[in-house]
């Protein structure tokens, strides 16, 4: 744990300025506005909880870590423009905490274009394959498990309890397609194909009707549905599925933003759990309730101590209602763990960290204990740190670990 002291906390910043000797700038393009703003904001808050504590104690090798924040609203074109801006900013040491597949997929060619500058993308909040495979895999380092692993785990568990007819509800873009491909591959290993599919457009709000999508899937009589989407649309689908009589397990992958979705589904309802009985969400970090893990204890302590507010100095693409934060969430825990590992990598680079030394420092991470119950290793052929997938269901007002699939869904 980083000990506390009275140094001013780190803040996100958005103005370009020359490199400073006493700080390391991480460039961030993420969703800080729009229907998926909860993801970018919570990821940022988790990282800031760690960086604030770190900076109050003198930073890493005497340097404070700050984030240069740009909003892309979870839209590809702004993300490309932001990435170019960050790449052209000499003070930016590396790219960090990007959010989303459609955004990252479009930003990767920018990294390749500027490859001479040796700026790498660290720990994007997406489990898609493009930043894990050629031709762009060499420009990114991932910490979380992939969608392929998440969807494979969901499919394997559903098949194990006899739910073999699996349909997919997905966001009709690169993210949705990535998850769809994962489900397809996993089902093929069991000799099955996708039982049915329905799509929605990125940016769909919770207030939108998903009746058309539910009706398409009802016709296919699936045993379970795997959703590859963001919390607003997936929440709307879960709501309409229950209302229209589709009473089967509805699974979501980690990107969904579990707490944000749960809030939408429970807000203002007489029976808060009327639409959550069938939910099962996969996660790529352990439960933030599992205080047996050192990283979770540290996370809870830092979040309680700093309670980082949403970034207030970002030029947002769209304005909306003030964002209501969560004391803890899977997304902010992921942001916290991301911050912890990037700090360790920078620490290993010594007093004068250079971009040219980043890759070597990452590859030197072997069997590193992050405190999440799984050791982290990187290498030229291993650009993803964690492999484990966790499964959670709703109990009361939170997601808790799913212990027994058979008892819950058989």
Partner 1 sequence: MSRMRVHKLFRKTRFFFFALFGLIVISVSVLSITTVSRELSDEYESNSRSIAQNIADSSVDILLNRNLATLQSLIDQFVQIESIRYIYITSETGEFLAHTFVPGIPDEILASDASSTATVERSLPGLGDFIEVGAPILSGVAGTVHVGMDLELLGLKIQRAIGAQMALFGIIFVIGSLLTFWFVNLASQPLADLLAFAVRMAGGESATGDEPVLSRDDEAGELARLFMHVNRRAAGADREP
Q: Rounded distance, CA 409 to CA 261, Å?
A: 21
Check residue 34 for interaction with partner 1 (CB under 8 A).
Answer: no
Residue in 75, 133, 132 with CA at minimum distance from that of residue 106:
75
Looking at the Cβ atoms of 120 and 175, the one nearer to partner 1 is 175
Whether the Cβ atoms of residue 138 and residue 354 lie closer than 8 Å to each other:
no
> Which window, 32-40, 98-106, 151-159, 336-344, contacts partner 1 (CB under 8 A)?
98-106
Q: How far is the CB of 98 from partner 1 (least distance, A)?
A: 15
Site string for partner 1, 212-231 (x = CB under 8 A): xx--x---------------
Check residue 149 for interaction with partner 1 (CB under 8 A).
Answer: no
Name the helix (H) or strand (E) containing 185. helix 174-189
**Looking only at residues 173 through 192 of this chain, which bind partner 1 when binding is defined by CB under 8 A?**
173-178, 180-181
Check residue 35 for interaction with partner 1 (CB under 8 A).
Answer: no
Check residue 200 for interaction with partner 1 (CB under 8 A).
Answer: yes
Check residue 47 for interaction with partner 1 (CB under 8 A).
Answer: no
Q: How far is the CB of 195 from partner 1 (least distance, A)?
A: 13
Classify burial at 325, counting beta carbons within 10 Å of its beta carbon; exposed 0-12, middle 13-18, buried 19 or more.
middle
Check residue 144 for interaction with partner 1 (CB under 8 A).
Answer: no
Q: Rounded distance, CA 4 to CA 8, Å?
A: 11
Q: What is the DSSP letter of 380?
A: T
Q: Is the peptide bond before 135 cis (omega within 30 degrees of 0)?
A: yes
Classify burial at 323, counting beta carbons within 10 Å of its beta carbon; exposed 0-12, middle 13-18, buried 19 or more.
middle
Q: Work out whether strand 368-369 and strand 375-376 pair parallel, antiparallel, or are unpaired.
A: antiparallel
Q: How far is the CB of 201 from partner 1 (least distance, A)?
A: 5
Name the helix (H) or strand (E) containing 370. none
Cβ-based neighbour number of residue 72 at 10 Å: 29
Q: How far is the CB of 213 from partner 1 (least distance, A)?
A: 5
Q: How far is the CB of 392 from partner 1 (least distance, A)?
A: 25
Check residue 139 for interaction with partner 1 (CB under 8 A).
Answer: no
Name the helix (H) or strand (E) containing 207. none
Tokens for 391, please give them. Answer: 């499964």
Q: Which of 29, 199, 276, 328 binds partner 1 (CB under 8 A)?
A: 199
Looking at the Cβ atoms of 176 and 308, the one nearer to partner 1 is 176
Q: Rounded distance, CA 257 to CA 118, Å?
A: 31
Q: Which of 198, 280, 296, 402 binds partner 1 (CB under 8 A)?
A: 198
Q: Work out whether strand 398-401 and strand 390-395 pair parallel, antiparallel, or are unpaired.
A: antiparallel
Check residue 88 for interaction with partner 1 (CB under 8 A).
Answer: no
Residues 6+ apart with CB under 8 A from 294: 371
Tokens for 237, please give them. Answer: 């689908």
Check residue 91 for interaction with partner 1 (CB under 8 A).
Answer: no
Q: Which of 2, 69, 70, 128 binds partner 1 (CB under 8 A)?
A: 128
Check residue 113 for interaction with partner 1 (CB under 8 A).
Answer: no
Check residue 259 for interaction with partner 1 (CB under 8 A).
Answer: no
> Which window, 9-17, 48-56, 82-90, 130-138, contacts partner 1 (CB under 8 A)?
130-138
Q: Rounded distance, CA 299 to CA 375, Å?
A: 17
Whether the Cβ atoms of residue 111 and residue 139 lie closer than 8 Å to each other:
yes
Check residue 300 for interaction with partner 1 (CB under 8 A).
Answer: no
Check residue 327 for interaction with partner 1 (CB under 8 A).
Answer: no
Check residue 197 for interaction with partner 1 (CB under 8 A).
Answer: yes
Q: How far is the CB of 245 from partner 1 (least distance, A)?
A: 18
Whether the Cβ atoms of residue 54 and residue 2 lie closer than 8 Å to each other:
yes
Query: Phi and psi (nearest 5°) for 279?
Result: -80, 140
**# residues contacting partner 1 (CB under 8 A):** 27
Q: How far is the CB of 333 from partner 1 (least distance, A)?
A: 25
Check residue 76 for interaction with partner 1 (CB under 8 A).
Answer: yes
The residues that touch partner 1, with contacts defined as CB under 8 A, are 76, 101-102, 105-106, 128-130, 133-134, 172-178, 180-181, 197-201, 212-213, 216
């Amino acid at each position: 744990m980083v000990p506390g002291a009275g140094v001013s906390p780190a803040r996100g910043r958005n103005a370009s300025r020359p490199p400073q000797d006493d700080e390391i700038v991480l460039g961030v393009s993420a969703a800080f506005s729009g229907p998926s703003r909860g993801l970018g904001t919570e990821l940022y808050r988790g990282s800031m909880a760690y960086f604030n504590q770190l900076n109050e104690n003198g930073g890493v090798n005497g340097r404070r870590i700050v984030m240069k924040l740009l909003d892309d609203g979870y839209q590809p074109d702004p993300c490309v423009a932001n990435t170019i801006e960050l790449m052209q900013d000499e003070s930016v040491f590396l790219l960090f905490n990007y959010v989303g597949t459609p955004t990252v997929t479009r930003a990767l060619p920018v990294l390749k274009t500027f490859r001479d500058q040796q700026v790498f993308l660290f720990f994007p909040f997406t489990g898609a394959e493009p930043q894990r495979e050629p031709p762009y895999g060499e420009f990114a380092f991932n910490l979380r498990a992939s969608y392929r692993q998440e969807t494979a785990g969901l499919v394997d568990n559903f098949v194990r309890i006899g739910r073999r007819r699996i349909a997919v509800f997905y966001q009709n873009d690169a993210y949705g397609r990535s998850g769809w491909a994962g489900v397809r591959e996993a089902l093929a290993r069991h000799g099955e194909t996708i039982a049915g599919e329905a799509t929605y457009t990125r940016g769909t709000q919770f207030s939108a009707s998903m009746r058309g999508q539910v009706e398409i899937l009802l016709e296919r009589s699936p045993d379970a549905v795997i959703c590859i989407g963001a919390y607003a649309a997936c929440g709307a689908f879960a709501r309409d599925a229950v209302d229209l009589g589709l009473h089967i397990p509805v699974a979501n992958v980690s990107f969904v933003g579990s707490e944000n979705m749960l809030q939408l589904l429970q807000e203002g309802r007489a029976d808060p759990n009327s639409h959550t009985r069938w939910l099962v969400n996969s996660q790529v970090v352990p439960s933030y309730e599992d205080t047996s893990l050192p990283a979770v204890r540290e996370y809870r302590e830092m979040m309680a101590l700093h309670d980082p507010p949403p970034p207030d100095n970002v030029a947002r693409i769209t304005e909306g209602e003030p964002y209501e934060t969560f004391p803890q969430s899977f997304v902010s825990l992921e942001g916290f763990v991301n911050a912890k590992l990037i700090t360790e990598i920078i620490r290993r680079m010594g007093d004068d960290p250079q971009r040219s030394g980043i890759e070597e420092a990452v590859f030197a991470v072997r069997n590193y204990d992050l405190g999440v119950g799984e050791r982290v290793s990187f290498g030229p052929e291993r650009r993803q740190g964690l492999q484990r997938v966790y499964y959670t269901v709703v109990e009361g007002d939170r997601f808790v670990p799913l212990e027994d699939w058979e008892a819950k869904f058989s």
